[in-house]
Amino acid sequence: MHDVSIEIGAGQSVAIVGASGAGKSTLLALLAGLDTPTTGKVWLAGEDLTLLDEDGRARLRAQRVGFVFQSFHLIPALTALENVMLPLELAGRSDARSTALATLERVGLRARTGHYPRQLSGGEQQRVALARAFVGRPAVLFADEPTGNLDTATGERVVELLFELNEQSLTTLVLVTHERTLAARCERILHMDAGRVVS
């Protein structure tokens, strides 16, 4: 990363695009506090991430951030319901089960709550991942190639769901994508090249 300075307003949807190796995922990791910059500052939901230790950054992510990845990152030993309940249980929420069930229903998976990831299609797994990301009503959702492992039709359904949930939750959405049609759905597009935001 070189001289990157961006500001993303609450509730905005922003796509980060560029060739492979341009720094898109690195920028996402810095914005989410998964990595720390060698110089400069990163503010997330009003907090300066560079002043927090790893535990502090993890706590902020747990409270304010949702993630959706290309490879789903579901826990194989947990059912769909348990995967979605997990962030709520970690936050000590007593309504974890009912909230997770309602969120799975929103993504059309009420009938699949007892299934393990290996029993679900790729599209279903990504819908579980979306439900898990949105269940805590995050201030910011980071998505890294959310349709990268899905066929075109399934990817389009997941995108519709992503933007629908985002609109309902008034969440800030920051996504990395190679897909122009997905990027075009966002309010802003940041083009990256060789570690710089060029437009």
- Arithmetic mean of pLDDT over the chain: 88
Nearest to 84 by CA among 69, 64, 63, 105: 105
* CB atoms inside a 10 Å sphere around CB 27: 22
For residue range 87-110, list pLDDT tens digits in order.
Answer: 899 888 899 999 999 999 988 999
Which amino acid appears at position 99 of this protein?
T
163 within domain boundaries? yes
107 within domain boundaries? yes
The percent of residues in the chain predicted with pLDDT above 90, rounded, is 36
The model carries a pTM of 0.85
Give the integer Cα–Cα distance in Å for 4 and 30. 11
How many structural domains comprise the chain?
1
Contact (CB, 8 A) for 49 and 42: yes
DSSP code per residue over 171-191: -EEEEE-S-HHHHHTSSEEEE
In eight-state DSSP terms, residue 66 is E
Give 196 or 66, the one with higher predicted confidence: 66
Nearest to 66 by CA among 113, 135, 162: 135
Nearest to 30 by CA among 43, 19, 17: 43
114 within domain boundaries? yes
7 within domain boundaries? no
140 within domain boundaries? yes
1 within domain boundaries? no
Domain that holds residue 73: 13-197
Res 157: pLDDT: 83
2 within domain boundaries? no
For residue range 121-175, list pLDDT tens digits in order.
Answer: 998 998 999 999 989 888 899 998 888 887 888 888 888 888 888 888 888 999 9
Best-predicted range by mean pLDDT (74-78, 182-186, 194-198): 74-78
CB burial of residue 116 (10 Å; 0-12, 13-18, 19+): middle
Contact (CB, 8 A) for 146 and 68: yes
Give 14 or 162, the one with higher predicted confidence: 14
Count Cα neighbours of 33 within 13 Å in the Cβ-side half-sphere: 27
* Pair of tokens at residue 139: 């201030």
Give just the sign of the alpha carbon dihedral 102, 107, 165, 13: positive
- Give me the phi and psi of 38, to 5 degrees please: -75, -30
Res 180: pLDDT: 86
* CB atoms inside a 10 Å sphere around CB 128: 27
Res 1: pLDDT: 54
Q: How many angstroms from the chain centroid is the CA of residue 150?
A: 16
6 within domain boundaries? no
Q: Which helix (H) or strand (E) holds 57?
A: helix 54-64
CATH number at residue 72: 3.40.50.300
pLDDT band at 23 (very low <50, low <70, confident <90, very high): confident
